[in-house]
Amino acid sequence: MNMNAAPSTDAARADAHLRAAAALAELIPDRGAPILDLFCGAGLTGAALSDLGFRAIDGLDPRKPLLAQAQAVGAYRRLIEADPADAAAAAAPGGYAGVVLLTPPEDAPPELLDGALALAAPQGLVATAIDEEAERERLARLTELLDSGAALLEVKERGLHRAPDGREATLYVMRKL
């Protein structure tokens, strides 16, 4: 992974990006399947997915400077400048084999999980990392989606989220039903 293309603030979250990419790689055998990196930032997840052989990676982020950094990573087939809350209008709803949503809670309300699920194809996957202590609302929304039958939990794995501060989070991967 080309860590030089990403700023140090994103490098601190590299562990969650690597874990999400590895989980999708285990569950999606077709490396040509389309993947959406929702809130792609500087491109750490895209780089990790590309390193694992994925070739059809789209990135979406509202921040133009970070999209320029993501472009420099060279992993994305398409980068979209849009608010993730409006992603359905900018991306392909129901068209992604996998959607990755890794962002701090202040940038993404819990309902963004619904949007990520809407972007996934039937049987598609949504990967997100949640710090249960800091993100109770996002965890509650994920639980509601699973309990409602909208999705099935495929992966629940506790691990390092931010290397410098040792913070942990749980990686959740759900399959859209």
**Domain definitions of the chain by residue range:** 3-119+126-176
Q: What is the pTM of this model?
A: 0.88
Q: What is the pLDDT along the chain (177 residues), one digit of tens a residue?
A: 333 333 334 443 458 899 999 999 999 999 999 999 999 999 999 999 999 999 999 999 999 999 999 999 999 999 999 988 888 888 888 999 999 999 877 777 899 999 999 999 999 999 999 987 778 999 999 999 999 999 999 999 988 665 556 778 899 999 999
CATH numeric code, 3-119+126-176: 3.40.50.150
pLDDT at 103: 84
In whole angstroms, give the CA distance from residue 99 to residue 34.
9
Both tokens assigned to 133: 């202590």
Q: 58 with 80: CB under 8 angstroms?
A: yes
